[in-house]
Amino acid sequence: AQSVTQPDIHITVSEGASLELRCNYSYGATPYLFWYVQSPGQGLQLLLKYFSGDTLVQGIKGFEAEFKRSQSSFNLRKPSVHWSDAAEYFCASHFGNEKLTFGTGTRLTIIP
Amino acid sequence: GAVVSQHPSWVICKSGTSVKIECRSLDFQATTMFWYRQFPKQSLMLMATSNEGSKATYEQGVEKDKFLINHASLTLSTLTVTSAHPEDSSFYICSASSRVNEKLFFGSGTQLSVL
């Protein structure tokens, strides 16, 4: 069965430091991949998505993600985090007409 | 960990009929629930936010008379697709949180096919 794994439940980063959130998927072929952010009290917001083509995807709010087929990974990165980036981040994927599968989420805390 | 149960996981219905999807928080009180819709090859679209005991807040472009949301208790929210049409065929997913700043938990989703 398809699955999405986010190994880190909680990450704490200093403001201004770089960030990388990990995401791994299990599929035989390349799925469609997404990163969503959930700010407190809000619904999900799409940060970026990968369908095909360039493996480095640029998203909103200064985020980017790189698809690495050899590692079955789609890690989210940001060079310098801001206090407003504190939120829950979800990686998700689907393949073909199958339903969207979410990772369990990574909570990001920003310290001054 | 917290569990959100969504039922049914898939449903096929005739055009013109109504379909109800349930979203239950099994081991926590969900003060807020979100309903999303996913179109093929696209990302999730937030349809509405429901808070227990009050009317749902619908996103722009979502027909509230067509997609009825009820959040009558702290453990149950329902989405009813009224007079369903083939274009309503989609994957619907709910999520729930116990209060502001708490983690969001997702249901397993419902695949709706309208014939």
Minimal Cα–Cα distance from A18 to chain B, Å?
Answer: 23
Average pLDDT taken over every residue of chain B: 87
Print the SS3 string covering chain B: CCCEEEECCEEEECCCCCEEEEEEECCCCCCEEEEEEECCCCCEEEEEEEECCCCCEECCCCCCCCEEEEEEECCEEEEEECCCCHHHCEEEEEEEECCCCCCCEECCCEEEEEC
Q: Give the mean model confidence (pLDDT) for residues A19-32.
A: 88
Chain A, nearest residue to B98 by Cα: A41
Q: What's residue B101's pLDDT?
A: 47
**pLDDT one-digit tens code per residue, B52-63:** 888 899 989 999
Chain A, nearest residue to B92 by Cα: A99
**pLDDT one-digit tens code per residue, B17-65:** 999 999 999 888 888 888 999 776 566 788 998 888 888 999 899 999 9
A99 and B111: CB-CB below 8 Å?
A: yes
Percent of chain B at pLDDT > 90 equals 47
**pLDDT one-digit tens code per residue, A64-102:** 999 999 999 999 999 999 999 999 899 998 776 566 778
